[in-house]
């Protein structure tokens, strides 16, 4: 099992450009999450999904959109990148009943917005 994988690993964008981050998991997990991690801020939840076709906002959703068309994939989109979105993005997944379960993280995507 590959676990949770993220694509790409690193990306540089110019302000105003768009991009999509892909998260894939092969553990048949119901719940998937997107976080960003910034120095001194800890991990902050952007959006999450409790099942195929459903998404919900987290703590810092502005400027991001998500889609969960397939159970194993969770996409995070930046429509118009801003320097404030420079961060490390982590995807995670858990079995149903997510708050009691271990969150498995992907290796992260480092994004630099110039």
Partner 1 sequence: RKEVEQDPGPFNVPEGATVAFNCTYSNSASQSFFWYRQDCRKEPKLLMSVYSSGNEDGRFTAQLNRASQYISLLIRDSKLSDSATYLCVVNLFGNEKLTFGTGTRLTIIP
Q: Which of 41, 82, 112, 114 binds partner 1 (CB under 8 A)?
A: 41
Residue 61 touching partner 1 (CB under 8 A)? no
Token pair for 9:
């690993």
Interface with partner 1 by CB under 8 A: which range of 9-17, 18-26, 37-45, 68-76?
A: 37-45
Q: Which of 46, 98, 111, 113 binds partner 1 (CB under 8 A)?
A: 98
Residue 34 touching partner 1 (CB under 8 A)? no
Residues 21 and 8: their CA atoms lie apart, in Å, by 7
Q: Which of 20, 73, 86, 103 binds partner 1 (CB under 8 A)?
A: 103
CA atoms within 13 A on the CB side of 94: 13
Residue 48 touching partner 1 (CB under 8 A)? yes
For residue 113, give the nearest of 32, 34, 38 by alpha carbon. Answer: 38
Residue number, 73 or 103, with CB nearest to partner 1: 103
């Amino acid at each position: 099992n590959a676990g949770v994988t993220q694509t790409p690993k690193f990306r540089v964008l110019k302000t105003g450009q768009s991009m999509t981050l892909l998260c894939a998991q092969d553990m048949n997990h119901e719940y998937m999450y997107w976080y960003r991690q910034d120095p001194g801020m800890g991990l902050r939840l952007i959006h999450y999904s409790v099942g195929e076709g459903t998404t919900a906002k987290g703590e810092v959703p502005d400027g991001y959109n998500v889609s969960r068309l397939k159970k194993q994939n969770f996409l995070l989109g930046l429509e118009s990148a801003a320097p404030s979105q420079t961060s490390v993005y982590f995807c995670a997944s858990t079995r149903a009943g997510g708050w009691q379960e271990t969150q498995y993280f992907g290796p992260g995507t480092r994004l630099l917005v110039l």
